[in-house]
Amino acid sequence: MQTNHDFQILLRKFLRGLAWGIISTPVRVSLTKKPANLLNFGTVIPVNNRYYYQNRKMMNVIRNSSRVVMWVLVLMICFTGCKSKKKAAEAARAAEERARIEQEATLRKEEEEQKRKEAEEAASRDADARQQEMATNEPKARLNQYFESVARSGNVASSNSSINEALTLFSSPDTPVLIVISEEGGQKDYDRPTTIRQYLNYLKDTKNNSNSISNLQFDNSGKITEVELRKN
């Protein structure tokens, strides 16, 4: 914008100097070339005087040239001004477009960041759930192996060894064992309550591991405090 303004100033000075040079030069000629018969007290110059016609013709040319130069100057100034306004409007539109693009990019970045955080939180929840499930399934799997080992053992010593190892998973040998025999409308019916020691001895005597582990409860130290079985 500053460059266009300086250019306009220089152009105006140049055209004004050009116009003044065209106007001033013939006038000096007309003043120096006076008619020979011009009277000192202001007598009118005769019509047939050749200097008079030359000067008059020159003045007409000067006046016409001056008008042309001034019109050209006015048109060039108007054109330059319109062009400058057009450039200013284009620059303003370009600035608005850049601002809009930057705003959209900022919004997209914020949305992507929000999605990333949500994905990380979901992944963290899934990892916690898997870890909790593994923490639950691992004792369940170990306890089920002990049930199978006690039920299928071929001698009493092996069965007793498996029972003692299984009891280390519990907070107490008297940990309750609940056996679900039926369920309807969310209401569960249980068989006669027993303890984990009694149930392990039952498996040793009957060799029948017909119940599956449905749920386990734990204390803060990770020991089993309650067993829920379901008849198969």
CA distances from 187 to 73, 159, 165, 183 (A): 101, 35, 34, 5
- pLDDT score recorded for residue 91: 82
What are the pLDDT digits (tens) for 123-166? 888 877 776 665 556 888 889 999 999 999 888 899 999 999 99
What's the first-to-final CA gap in the chain, in angstroms? 89
CB of 136 within 8 A of CB of 216? yes
Task: Give the type of residue at 149.
Answer: S
Q: Where are the alpha helices (DSSP H) in the chain?
A: 2-32, 50-152, 156-167, 196-206
pLDDT reading at 31 higher than 60:
no
Phi and psi, residue 217, nearest 5°: -115, 145
Q: What is the DSSP letter of 38?
A: -
3-state SS, residue 178: strand
- pLDDT score recorded for residue 54: 59
- pLDDT score recorded for residue 179: 92
- pLDDT score recorded for residue 65: 63
Token couple for 170: 């519990």
What are the pLDDT digits (tens) for 165-184? 999 999 999 999 999 988 88
